[in-house]
Amino acid sequence: MRPRIRVDLQRDGAASPEPGSWRRELLLVLVFVGGATSLGIEFAAARLLAPFFGQSLFIWGILIGLILIYLTVGYYVGGRVADRRPDPILLYQITAAAGLATGLIPLVSRPILLLSQTGFSQLSLGLVLGTLLAVVVLFAVPVILLGMVSPFAIRLRIKDVQTAGNAAGAVYALSTLGSIVGTFVPVFWLIPTYGTRPTLYILAVLLGLVSAVGLWGPPRRRLYLLIPLAIIGLALLQHGAGIRSAFFGERIYETESAYNYIQVVREGTHTDLLLNEGQAIHSIYDPTTLYTHGYWDDFLLAPLFGSSAQPGRIALIGLAGGTIARQFTSIDGPVAIDGVELDPKIVEVGRRFFAMNEPNLNVIVADGRYWLATNDRRYDVIGVDAFRQPYIPFYLTTREFFTSARDHLTDAGVVAINVGRTTTDYRLVDALAGTMRSVFPSVFVVDTGSGFTESVVYGTRLPTSVDAFRQRALASGNPRLRPIIEEALSTGNLREVRPGGIVFTDDLAPVERMIDQIILGYIRGSR
């Protein structure tokens, strides 16, 4: 019979300390909670960064890459520390510190994010990049400490070579299972229900509680019970505090949805919908006037680019608070409107604060491109206003999307899309106009005036011209449309797009990189 080989797990020939059976089994619970917390922190980090830095491919790349670096450091350090001092008490102390560091993230991130917002408003490139780095570094301490858990737990659970594989397998299986739970529970329940910061507090408290139980013993170690209590105290201290103040007026409402941080601000009779970083207005409502003097008004020109000045059915992808739907109803009467909005919480806000209650408006909560592809209706106008500031979802900018939109138009139909720009940089406008021109026989651009930096690009199913638009516009007998027509013809720089230029496709649509270049160019030029 082959002798069983005992592994010496202690340095200098000393025996490895045997944790009590309950504390040894608790290691598996700790591994599970640690795995859940590490993934929960990653998703919470993305939510904290998104309102200020967006959710572009580059932001996700930076975040995921750094989280993996932190975990790699944690694995390496954890293995070395465990070999030097394989003490379960030390491991529970490490995870207690990780729980406390996680609980500090919501508190410490607040002033850093406020500095970031100041950097955006003052166009300070160094401040913006510095605060982005600082926010990401915030997550280094807890994630590195959590990375130490698995190798440390394996070291403590291995008794001999013959059971090493089983011990390591159990630890990695539970850590991965915890990571799965840490993915789905925050994404589908905690963050949408309670918010990003409460989610971090919940994860921190769970980690602190498991660590405190593992440290239970002499009175001195019982002080670790104060860690989860301290985290709860931090959460209560921040309860009800707003993330930041609004730039555009008095904030009357704020909430966090599965997709956005939402603010409603009011100044006099004017109500604005702000999303995420709060630097752009997504909907306007003023009961004293029909006109916004922004790009919303220019969407009402779309039927005049087609062969019919009176639309029969309209689709709006990116409904937001319903500004365009309300204007179309006021000008053209109870025309049938299908309004598509991805975020159900924005729909609630639109109905509550923006009078989005037109009986002719059919609200659909769905992704715009998927809805269009699975819908067989045809429309006289398809309006696209689906910015997730400062980015447009890339799949709403491609030749394939505009082909699908064209196929859903009547013969008199027009597609209109809002595109951001600066006063001098039209790269994104030109790219989308060029892409649309590869699909539509006629494409036109109108620049929005009155201080807004947007353009609306129109694509028509049938060939037409600027002169034809002018004739239909000047012949329009709708007095409510007249001010919008006059502003577009006088200051809108109306122009037709010629074939050629960039064409975005589903395979290659570098929208985010282009927008980042525009932003950086604007910041450099404003110095």
Residue 27 Cα to chain centre, angstroms: 35
Residue 527: pLDDT over 90 = no
Angle of helix 125-138 relative to helix 57-84, nearest 10 degrees?
Answer: 40
Specify which residues 361 forms β-bridges with.
337
Q: What local confidence, expressed as pLDDT, does residue 365 receive?
A: 95
Amino acid symbol at 477:
G
Q: Residue 270: which residues within 8 A CB-CB, separation 6 or more?
A: 249, 284, 285, 286
Q: What local confidence, expressed as pLDDT, does residue 241 receive?
A: 44
Mean pLDDT of 134-144: 83
Q: What local confidence, expressed as pLDDT, does residue 413 receive?
A: 95
More reliable by pLDDT, 331 or 424: 331
Q: What residue has token string 């598996």?
A: 28
Amino acid symbol at 170:
A
Fold designation for 288-525? Rossmann fold (3.40.50)
Q: What local confidence, expressed as pLDDT, does residue 435 receive?
A: 96
In tens, the pLDDT along 16-36 reads 444 456 667 799 999 999 999
Q: What local confidence, expressed as pLDDT, does residue 44 receive?
A: 86
Q: What local confidence, expressed as pLDDT, does residue 62 receive?
A: 77
Residue 448 Cα to chain centre, angstroms: 26
Sorting pLDDT into bands at 50, 70 and 90, what band is 187?
A: confident
* Rounded distance between C-alpha atoms, residue 173 and residue 298, angstroms: 56
Highest mean pLDDT among 4-13, 79-88, 274-283, 386-395: 79-88
More reliable by pLDDT, 4 or 195: 195
Sorting pLDDT into bands at 50, 70 and 90, what band is 53?
A: low
* Rounded distance between C-alpha atoms, residue 319 and residue 230, angstroms: 43
Q: What local confidence, expressed as pLDDT, does residue 115 receive?
A: 66
More reliable by pLDDT, 405 or 395: 405
Q: What local confidence, expressed as pLDDT, does residue 5 receive?
A: 41
Residue 82: pLDDT over 80 = yes
Q: Are 406 and 372 in contact (CB under 8 A)?
A: no
Q: Residue 218: which residues within 8 A CB-CB, separation 6 or more?
A: none
In tens, the pLDDT along 364-378 reads 999 999 999 999 999
Q: Residue 80: which residues within 8 A CB-CB, separation 6 or more?
A: none
Q: What local confidence, expressed as pLDDT, does residue 218 receive?
A: 72
In tens, the pLDDT along 197-236 reads 889 999 999 999 999 888 887 766 666 677 778 888 877 7
Q: What local confidence, expressed as pLDDT, does residue 394 receive?
A: 87
Q: Are 297 and 487 in contact (CB under 8 A)?
A: yes
Mean pLDDT of 180-198: 86
Residue 246: pLDDT over 50 = no
Mean pLDDT of 302-315: 87
Q: Are 243 and 51 in contact (CB under 8 A)?
A: yes
Q: What is the DSSP letter of 388?
A: B
Q: What local confidence, expressed as pLDDT, does residue 221 receive?
A: 61
In tens, the pLDDT along 254-298 reads 888 878 888 899 988 989 998 876 667 899 999 999 999 889 999
In tens, the pLDDT along 319-367 reads 999 999 999 999 999 999 999 999 999 999 999 999 999 999 999 999 9
What does R_g of the chain's alpha carbons equal in angstroms? Answer: 28
Long-range Cβ contacts of 263-269 (<8 Å, 24+ apart): 264/349, 264/353
CA distances from 98 to 49, 124, 230, 243 (A): 21, 33, 13, 24
Residues of the chain with CATH 1.20.1250: 11-238
Fold designation for 11-238? Growth Hormone; Chain: A; (1.20.1250)
Sorting pLDDT into bands at 50, 70 and 90, what band is 51?
A: low
Q: What phi and psi values does residue 283 have, to the nearest 5 degrees?
A: -150, 150
Q: What local confidence, expressed as pLDDT, does residue 20 receive?
A: 53
Sorting pLDDT into bands at 50, 70 and 90, what band is 242?
A: very low
Lay out the sheet containing 250-256: strands in order across. 250-256, 261-267, 270-275, 281-285
Sorting pLDDT into bands at 50, 70 and 90, what band is 1?
A: very low
Amino acid symbol at 224:
Y
Q: Are 402 and 378 in contact (CB under 8 A)?
A: no
Q: What local confidence, expressed as pLDDT, does residue 206 receive?
A: 93
* Rounded distance between C-alpha atoms, residue 404 and residue 497, angstroms: 20
Q: What residue has token string 């110095």?
A: 527
Residue 68: pLDDT over 70 = yes
Give the end-to-end CA distance of the chain in Å, rounded to a whole number.
80
Residues of the chain with CATH 3.40.50.150: 288-525
DSSP state string for 203-230: HHHHHHHHHHHHT-SSTTGGGGGHHHHH
More reliable by pLDDT, 314 or 56: 314
Average pLDDT over the chain reads 84
Q: What local confidence, expressed as pLDDT, does residue 450 receive?
A: 63
* Rounded distance between C-alpha atoms, residue 79 and residue 147, angstroms: 10
More reliable by pLDDT, 317 or 490: 317
Q: Strands 250-256 and 261-267, how do they pair? A: antiparallel
Residue 243: pLDDT over 80 = no
Q: Give me the percent of the chain exceeding a pLDDT of 90.
A: 51
Instruction: Locate 51 and state its tokens.
Output: 């309102």
Closest CA to 391 of 58, 45, 48: 58
Torsion region of 13: left, alpha or beta (phi above 0 gives left; psi -120 to 50 gives alpha) = left
DSSP state string for 454-503: EEEEEEESS---HHHHHHHHHH---TTTHHHHHHHHHHS--EEPPS-S--
Q: What local confidence, expressed as pLDDT, does residue 137 receive?
A: 76
Closest CA to 34 of 85, 66, 78: 78
More reliable by pLDDT, 163 or 484: 484
